[in-house]
């Protein structure tokens, strides 16, 4: 028990539901309640956005110690705190901050009645859409009406009709009848992505959310509004009617769309991914991600996915089993020595895969090892201009100084017939400027892909790998944070996780390597490379750890920090 008088400079004592806790000065009441494990229901409040206090769901009973007249000693209760005078009317917990000696009751009769009243108002015009509403199952309106609602409607009049099923942007549909007018979407667009397209029009129970008549919600962060919308008013066209949320298994993973490495949750059911949404990580992506990254998972559904290992016989590819493919690849690659051989890896590979490529390179001794550079357009929020998610990993693990710088010379030496064999992992060389003529002049081309691309078509041995949500591993993002990818679904058909393929190749070339599972690779890596020292795959945790200092910052996080310091948001 912390007595208010002894509390530190910046701590204040607050009584929440009869228990005293101490929280930093300036904490919002709702956050203080959260710390005391008393969740206050809320709609409009979001820690990353300003608090307009317009939904009134978070009403609680509040009390303050009386201000003693000069010379008078305050009356103390059994714990030594000043006695609290409870106020007759409720206050909102989201926009008010605590003060020393304050009392909050979240379970009192007054608080409960307030919630019940607010719920009743919210449900007056709410449609009975749950069976067709994508939000059902993760809808706070559903949850709160079960917990705090009436269970019965007293409303006899006709409900107000509002626009339904409106396309407000290329990726989003709006259903105004379901909207609870919390304005989270309005604030997100305005405050976080500076695209002020939303607004409320009309008054009273006719008031509706709408987009500016001449504009659309089409910024690259628009789908975040779907996530923060507490109800099913904003729904994603991509996810619409595809799967009910309660069927999905959620896997914590990463987006590999760019070097930012936004933390994600992948929702899948029975081997199919249905959606990907951001996971809060205040050192990487706050609570957001870009729409492009969200749609990345569709590449895994490409009908041209490779599902079986193949060997080229004459002009045609023939499917074979894994041992044969690995054997053949190892036999062909070991025929070539030093300068005759080159390895082209990828900045999309995980650290573990890069490390196994490195051990492979140690035994094959190729003349060159490089990765492909993948530059794109970044923006001032999250999206990074480097579209390779793990360039820092390639730098550290594979010792690539300047990614993509050696590709030209590789091409030249292929033409000069100096390089006769090429091992390509996860990249389409035709896409990187190689010509078919160059590739066909090679005596041995072994490649691993997930899609039947032109390089795979030219390859003598094709090893089908796994997409980013089909494998485990670790990556280092642009700011030097080591994070973990997790496996949401199994790779299709016979295809395998890439580390397994590389591990088998290593074994075929060099015999046993003491690795039986992925964690072993990381352990070996941690004992060779100083930046991973003391770490293991499990110790990386869900939020990752900083392993290097790249000097880069995230523009969006900096602005968020500024708003926090100004007291606008909680953060």
CA 152 to chain centroid? 39
442 CB-side CA count, 13 A: 30
Pick the closer one to ligand SF4 by CB: 180 or 466: 180
Backbone angles phi, psi at 493, to 5 degrees: 55, -135
Task: Say how far apart CA 276 and CA 289 lie, in whole Å.
Answer: 10
Q: Which two tokens stand for residue 2?
A: 């912390």
Instruction: Concatenate the DSSP letters of all residues of 171-216 into one string.
Output: SEEE-GGG-----HHHHIIIIIS----EEEES-GGG-EEEE-TT--
Closest approach of Cβ 187 to ligand FES, in Å? 12
Angle between helices 351-364 and 518-528 (to 10 degrees): 70
Cβ atoms within 10 Å of 553's Cβ, excluding its own: 11
Instruction: Concatenate the DSSP letters of all residues of 401-465 into one string.
Output: SSTTTTHHHHHHHHHTT---EEEEES--TGGGT--HHHHHT-SEEEEEESB--HHHHH-SEEEE-
3-state secondary structure of 443: coil
**Residue 471 near ligand FES by CB under 6 A:** no
Closest approach of Cβ 224 to ligand SF4, in Å? 10
Instruction: Concatenate the DSSP letters of all residues of 3-57 into one string.
Output: -GGG--TTEEEEEETTEEEEEETT-BHHHHHHHTT-PPP-SS--TTS-----S-T
Please give the size of the binding site for ligand FES, defined by CB under 6 A: 12
Pick the closer one to ligand FES by CB: 485 or 570: 570
Q: State which of positions 84-143 bind ligand FES (CB under 6 A).
A: 92, 94
3-state secondary structure of 202: coil
Q: Which residues is 20 bridged to in the sheet?
A: 15
Pick from other proteins, ligand FES, ligand SF4, none: which does 534 bind, CB < 5 to 8 A by kind? none
**Residue 55 near ligand FES by CB under 6 A:** yes
**Residue 44 near ligand FES by CB under 6 A:** yes
Closest approach of Cβ 158 to other proteins, in Å? 6
Closest approach of Cβ 244 to other proteins, in Å? 5
Pick the closer one to other proteins by CB: 86 or 155: 155
Q: Which two tokens stand for residue 332?
A: 């062909």
Pick the closer one to ligand FES by CB: 139 or 259: 139
Q: Which of 353, 311, 314, 317 is nearest to 446 (CA)?
A: 311
**Residue 53 near ligand FES by CB under 6 A:** yes
User: Which residue of this chain has its Cβ atom nearest to ligand SF4 in the complex?
Assistant: 133
Residues near ligand SF4, by CB under 6 A: 126, 129-131, 133, 135-136, 139, 141-142, 178-185, 209, 229-234
Q: What is the DSSP letter of 409?
A: H
Closest approach of Cβ 201 to ligand SF4, in Å? 12
Residues near other proteins, by CB under 8 A: 127-128, 130-132, 136, 158-159, 161, 164-165, 240-242, 244, 246-247
Pick the closer one to ligand SF4 by CB: 183 or 340: 183
Contact 3, 81 (CB under 8 A): yes
Closest approach of Cβ 402 to ligand FES, in Å? 51
Pick from ligand FES, other proteins, ligand SF4, none: which does 92 bind, CB < 5 to 8 A by kind? ligand FES
Biggest CA pair distance of the chain: 102
Pick the closer one to other proteins by CB: 86 or 247: 247
**Residue 57 near ligand FES by CB under 6 A:** yes
Pick the closer one to other proteins by CB: 188 or 239: 239
Q: Could you give the residue ranges of the DSSP H alpha helices within 136-290?
A: 140-148, 184-187, 223-228
Closest approach of Cβ 131 to other proteins, in Å? 4
Pick the closer one to ligand FES by CB: 92 or 119: 92
Closest approach of Cβ 93 to ligand FES, in Å? 6
Letters for 4-43 (x = contact with ligand FES by CB under 6 A, - = none) are --------------------------------------xx
Q: Which parts of this chain interact with ligand FES (CB under 6 A)?
A: 42-45, 53-58, 92, 94
């Amino acid at each position: 028990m912390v007595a208010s008088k002894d509390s530190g400079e910046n701590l204040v004592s607050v009584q929440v539901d009869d228990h005293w806790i101490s929280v930093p000065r300036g904490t919002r009441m709702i956050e203080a309640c959260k710390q005391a494990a008393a969740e206050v229901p809320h709609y409009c409040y979001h820690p990353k956005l300003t608090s307009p206090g317009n939904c009134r769901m978070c009403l609680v009973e509040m009390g303050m110690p009386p201000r003693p007249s000069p010379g008078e000693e305050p009356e103390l209760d059994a714990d030594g705190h000043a006695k609290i005078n409870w106020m007759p009317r409720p206050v909102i917990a989201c926009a008010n901050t605590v003060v020393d000696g304050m009392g909050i009751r979240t379970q009192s009769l007054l608080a409960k009645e307030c919630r019940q009243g607010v719920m009743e108002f919210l449900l007056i015009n709410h449609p009975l859409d749950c069976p067709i509403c994508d939000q059902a199952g993760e809808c706070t309106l559903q949850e709160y009406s079960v917990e705090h609602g009436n269970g019965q409607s007293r409303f006899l009049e006709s409900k107000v009709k509002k626009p339904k099923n409106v396309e407000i942007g290329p990726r989003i549909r709006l259903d105004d009848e379901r909207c609870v007018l919390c304005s989270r979407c309005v604030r997100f667009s305005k405050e976080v992505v500076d695209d002020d397209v939303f607004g409320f029009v009309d008054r009273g129970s006719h008031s509706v959310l709408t987009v500016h008549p001449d504009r659309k919600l089409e910024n690259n962060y628009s789908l975040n509004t779907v996530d923060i919308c507490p109800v099913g008013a904003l729904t994603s066209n991509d996810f619409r009617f595809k799967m009910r949320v309660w069927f999905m298994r959620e896997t914590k993973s990463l987006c590999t769309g760019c070097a930012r490495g936004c933390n994600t949750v992948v929702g899948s059911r029975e081997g199919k991914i249905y959606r990907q949404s951001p996971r809060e990580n205040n050192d990487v992506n706050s609570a957001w991600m870009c729409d492009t990254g969200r749609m990345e998972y569709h590449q895994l559904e490409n009908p041209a996915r490779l599902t079986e290992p193949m060997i080229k016989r004459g002009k045609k590819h023939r499917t074979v089993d894994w041992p044969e493919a690995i054997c053949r690849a190892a036999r062909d690659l070991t025929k070539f020595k030093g300068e005759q051989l080159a390895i082209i890896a990828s900045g999309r590979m995980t650290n573990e895969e890069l490390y196994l490529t490195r051990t492979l390179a140690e035994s094959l001794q190729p003349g060159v090892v490089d990765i492909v550079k993948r530059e794109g357009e970044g923006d001032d929020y999250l999206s990074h201009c480097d579209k390779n998610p793990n360039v820092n990993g390639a730098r550290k693990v594979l010792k690539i100084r300047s990614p993509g710088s050696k590709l030209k010379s590789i091409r030249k030496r292929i033409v000069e017939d100096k390089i006769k064999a090429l091992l390509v992992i996860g990249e389409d060389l035709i896409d990187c400027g190689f010509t078919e003529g160059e590739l066909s002049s090679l005596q041995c081309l072994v490649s691993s892909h997930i899609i039947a691309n032109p390089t795979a078509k030219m390859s003598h041995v094709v090893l089908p790998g796994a997409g980013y949500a089909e494998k485990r591993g670790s990556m280092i993002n642009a700011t030097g944070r080591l994070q973990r990818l997790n496996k949401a679904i199994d790779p299709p058909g016979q295809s395998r996780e890439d580390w397994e393929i590389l591990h088998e190749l290593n074994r075929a070339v060099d015999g046993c390597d003491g690795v039986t599972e992925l964690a072993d690779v990381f352990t070996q890596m941690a004992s060779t490379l100083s930046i991973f020292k003391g770490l293991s795959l499990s110790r990386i945790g869900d939020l990752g750890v900083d392993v290097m200092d790249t000097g880069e910052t995230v523009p969006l996080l900096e602005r968020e920090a500024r708003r926090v310091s100004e007291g606008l948001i909680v953060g």
